[in-house]
Structure 1
Amino acid sequence: MKVKICGITNLEDALDAIDAGADALGFVFYDKSPRYIDPFEARKIVDKLPPFIQTIGLFVNEPNSFINQVCINAKMQTAQIIDDDTFTDFKTLDSRYIKVLRAKSKADIEKVEDNYVLVDAFVESFGGEGKRLALEWFKDIDCSKMILAGGLNADNLKELSDFNFYGVDVSSGVEAHKGKKDKQKMINFIKAVNEI
């Protein structure tokens, strides 16, 4: 199972996440988030990362021009897009992308087409609140192209063992406080993923 550590704001956390075994690092380009990072500050971190680590930029209700420019400025390989207000024209985006489904019910998950998607719990503040999704919503659904986010930590990952998720995305579950990661929590989280 792939692991993305989201809400990276500094080089130390980025390198600690990689040392712990993260496959991808997420950078938040939503300026109302306590985990927001300026694109050029993100680029300084990305320039110091080892190879084979994916860099993912998180965007909330932004037009293509903004997403494209930030991905260039910050050297993001993939855009992770919340598009509740349909600002984004996915057909003409320059960057690779993954859509975020902010699920309110099982019916939302049942509508997912055969594409990779990140499924998060619906919260007004657009994530990072540690709110969990009801796992029973995923019963009898093919989760092999789904990345699960929301309320995950080292203690509850065992509950995912029957669902075959492609990956997990964690932010608040491995933090010391908002915007600062806890190295040991990241180590424990990825160890728990590997035991599933």
Structure 2
Amino acid sequence: MGATVKICGLSDAQHVKAAVSAGARYLGFVFFPKSPRNVSIERAAKLMVDVPVGVAKVALVVNADDALLDRITSETLVDMVQLHGSESPERVAQVKARYGLPVMKAIGIAGPEDVAQIERYAGVADQLLIDAKAPKGADLPGGNGIAFDWRLVQRKYWPCPWMLAGGLAPDNVAEAIRLTGAKQVDVSSGVESAPGIKDDRLIAAFCAAAHAAN
């Protein structure tokens, strides 16, 4: 019984198709100009059109205001909003109420002191993304290709579903699932040949490894 997969940072129709064909259940589209995976709203709208029913289209934003979220939610076929900045639990609740879409909140983990904050969001978010905390001074809050000590979230259970992220790749995702008990995993840089450039073979290998993991 393997894990459900989210492929994040998609910006090309070929790689969207590859992710769907490999069995990914979530596709992430990044709306953050500093990211090499950033897509325009217009481009994302076109990419989402052919995504089959049953595969969730996730809009990743970082401390986005209502004006940006208004455009994304009205101009694309997004199914879920991923808040990947320093949004408060109150902001999570506001986004849920304003748009009527499920909200996933990303939480960066570096040490034991970071784990406690998960509880602050577990009661308000629809899902949690447990990611590696970005290094100090990093331009990106995620997608940096670094992992955290997975033992910090080993066999943890929260009131809402959670997804493991941070430094995952085809060659370590099975071990990450085994150590943490994660039912869902997220990958971005781990299936790229260069920053922002996805690799169909790595996408397929990652999904196969995650689906086969115990």
Normalising by structure 1, report the TM-score. 0.91
Contact 1:2/1:168 (CA < 8 Å) preserved in 2?
yes
Q: What is the Cα deviation at residue 138 of structure 1? A: 1.5
Encode CA deviations 1:149-195: one digit per residue, 9 max, x unaligned: 11101111222214221311101111122222111111111111112
Contact 1:103/1:122 (CA < 8 Å) preserved in 2?
yes
Percent of aligned pairs with the same residue? 28
The separation in 1 between residues aligned to 2:5 and 2:112, in whole angstroms, is 24
What amino acid is the match of 2:163? Answer: I
Q: SS state of the match for residue 57, structure 1? A: strand
Moved more, 133-142 or 27-36: 133-142
1:9-158 mapped onto 2 (5 Å cutoff): 9-84=11-86, 86=88, 89-93=91-95, 94=99, 95-113=101-119, 114-115=122-123, 116-123=127-134, 124=138, 125-139=140-154, 141-142=156-157, 145-158=161-174
Map of 1:169 onto structure 2: 186
Encode CA deviations 1:40-59: one digit per residue, 9 max, x unaligned: 11011111222211100100
User: Mind listing any 5+ residue stretches in structure 2 that lack a counterpart?
Assistant: none
Map of 1:4 onto structure 2: 6
Contact 1:102/1:122 (CA < 8 Å) preserved in 2?
yes
The separation in 2 between residues aligned to 1:164 and 1:173, in whole angstroms, is 20
RMSD across aligned C-alpha pairs, in angstroms?
A: 2.0
Q: What is the Cα deviation at residue 20 of structure 1? A: 0.9
Q: What is the Cα deviation at residue 75 of structure 1? A: 1.7
Contact 1:102/1:119 (CA < 8 Å) preserved in 2?
yes
State the aligned residue count: 196
The separation in 1 between residues aligned to 2:184 and 2:148, in whole angstroms, is 15
The separation in 1 between residues aligned to 2:102 and 2:211, in whole angstroms, is 27
List structure 1 runs of 4+ shifted beyond 4 angstroms: 85-88
Normalising by structure 2, report the TM-score. 0.84
Q: What is the Cα deviation at residue 140 of structure 1? A: 5.1
Contact 1:63/1:87 (CA < 8 Å) preserved in 2?
no
Moved more, 106-115 or 3-12: 106-115
What amino acid is the match of 1:161? Answer: R
Q: SS state of the match for residue 118, structure 2? A: coil
Contact 1:149/1:168 (CA < 8 Å) preserved in 2?
yes
User: Mind listing any 5+ residue stretches in structure 1 that lack a counterpart?
Assistant: none
Map of 2:201 onto structure 1: 184
The separation in 2 between residues aligned to 1:70 and 1:59, in whole angstroms, is 10
